[in-house]
Chains A and B, each alone.
Chain A
């Protein structure tokens, strides 16, 4: 029994036309640029949170959807990135820019170390080792009081003057998000990205035509870690505090849910999932304290009835209509 691939995402059925995707993206960005002029501060803050999680979810999908690897603990690299900024700004006198540039690099380094061990394993064992090593990082952060402030976390992280208003934070996170997404998109369309798809769909054949499967998986893992680190930086810009719970495994599970909700087969899927989940949690939070119950029921529905995700489902409908038009 092959446990190597996620059956769900084998053979993605076609894609949206490029013009449609580009048009949607540009419209989306224009709307988001205008948004702070009409929204209240709270919603601007909320959208900035969405940007942070959207980048995290999209970076996870490089490994999960494109690499077909059961990566269960991506939140670690996010947390490491956030903690790097927090520690460098509060414990050293280095400039803020250094902290920001160091964060994704440290996250990528941790991803290299964890990934180096994980890519040797397959299927569930891969997932379990990501979980074990990720929890190890969490435990270290949780316990290393001198460096990380233990379970208190680090609060009131100083940020530069120009990031003092929520609107400037909003535009900064949006800019970094868009740049990161463009790079990630280009990676998925590059020869590397296409080879990664091949190692997902048929690792044995890929190996036999001379592709170094492990190295491709490790590279994807490190790239994903790097962008998760960037997402951690954005988190610090928005929240200005970090806590060890960022690295606990249930945070990572929530990111997995975002990917599934939007659709693993579509580049924009995890982003949509992140947006929907953050907004729903906000709305549900207004009415009840039992947000996790609602999330659980939502997830149950998704798993049983919409496993291909919202965008995956829309794409199926779109493709069907295209084929019908082709027949006529």
Chain B
């Protein structure tokens, strides 16, 4: 096991961690502000991937298809999220966790079959655009350009979220709502708009994650089930509602999984669950302070 292999596996894990982060950042934001446990987040991610596929196919998998898909898919998913929030979620904000969870789970079931009806059951795949194809040398190890691209997108999204949450008026209200909702209500701030915005933003992030993962994997039914468990674990071990906690635990999960594949390929599938289990037992309330 030379250094180059380790380094390249590390960067691949890191770039996978970026996808985890983009998806779980949306989930944790929704957790923190709306206090909803959104099982449908994985379904939104899956829809994002399928829409990205459709958009890119529309352009004959051409050079612009991918970039347009990256723009359109998150926006469509954002719109879907907005419909879900206004149409359903706002009726159950004061219910207990089980009810909220099962409502979002019903959306998982519905979305799964709707995707089957719209796109069919056969596996889909999407091309990586020419500019991002191939790989380059990094200390003797080869790293695919697309993973390098993800390593740039992840921090950009993190920076964007940080700017939104700490520099904009709405972002500050979001943070305030996550910390002390009653006080925000008392101050006469319209929390309806905040909730809708946050849920739509969360949906946008899920769609973005789906669009980003689309060229690297087979787009299929069931891709929601695996990501949602990862995203939930990431959000919980990072500290519910804490975006930076989600960033740290995404990286731990991504890199841990990558090294698991390298060292013990047969049982790599259990690595994320072991990481999550150990971290939850060591730090029951998450790595960083929870927003609650």
Report A's interface with B, CB cutoff 8 A.
1, 3, 5-8, 64, 70, 72, 117, 120-121, 123-125, 127-129, 131-133, 135-136, 139-140, 142-143, 248-250, 253, 256-257, 260, 290, 292-293, 295-300, 302-304, 307
Contact = CB atoms under 8 A, between A and B. Distances in A.
Most buried by A among B92, B102, B109: B109
B106 A3 contact: no
B109 A296 contact: yes
Q: How large is the interface on B (under 10, 10 to 19, 20 to 34, 35 or more residues)?
A: 35 or more
16 contacts: A1-B35, A124-B240, A131-B233, A135-B229, A136-B273, A143-B270, A260-B99, A290-B117, A292-B110, A292-B112, A292-B113, A293-B113, A296-B107, A298-B106, A299-B102, A300-B110
Contacts of B101: 72
A64 B98 CA distance: 10
Given A135-B229, A136-B270, A299-B109, A129 B97 contact: no
By DSSP majority rule, is chain A's interface helix, strand, loop, or mixed? helix
Interface in B83-134: 88, 91-92, 95-99, 101-103, 105-110, 112-114, 116-117
Contacts of B113: 290, 292-293, 296
Contacts of B117: 290
B274 A121 contact: no
A237 to B, nearest CB: 29
Contact of A253 (B105, B233, B266, B276): B105
Interface string B249-292: 00000000000000000110110011011001100110000001
B37 interface: yes
Given A7-B95, A292-B112, A293-B110, A300 B88 contact: yes
B232 interface: yes
Contact of A117 (B105, B110, B273, B281): B281
B105 A299 contact: yes
B225 interface: yes
B229 A131 contact: yes
A323 B280 CA distance: 48
Contact of B98 (A70, A132, A143, A293): A70
B236 interface: yes
Given A121-B284, A128-B233, A133-B277, A6 B96 contact: yes
Given A124-B236, A299-B105, A139 B269 contact: yes
B83 to A, nearest CB: 14
A301 B91 CA distance: 12
A248 B35 CA distance: 26
A249 B42 CA distance: 14
B2 to A, nearest CB: 28
A304 to B, nearest CB: 6
Contacts of B91: 304
Given A140-B270, A292-B112, A129 B277 contact: yes
Contacts of A140: 267, 270
Contacts of B92: 303-304
B280 A125 contact: yes
Nearest to A144: B267
Contacts of B269: 139, 142-143
Contacts of B102: 253, 256-257, 260, 299, 302-303
A311 to B, nearest CB: 17
Given A131-B229, A143-B267, A295 B109 contact: yes
Contact of A125 (B95, B98, B284): B284
A290 B109 CA distance: 10
Contact of A303 (B106, B281, B292): B106
B98 to A, nearest CB: 5
Most buried by B among A7, A64, A133, A292: A292
| Nearest 5 interchain pairs by C-beta | A296-B109, A293-B113, A296-B110, A299-B106, A136-B273
A63 to B, nearest CB: 12
Nearest to B225: A250
A136 B275 CA distance: 10
B292 A1 contact: yes
A8 B98 CA distance: 9
Contacts of A260: 98-99, 102
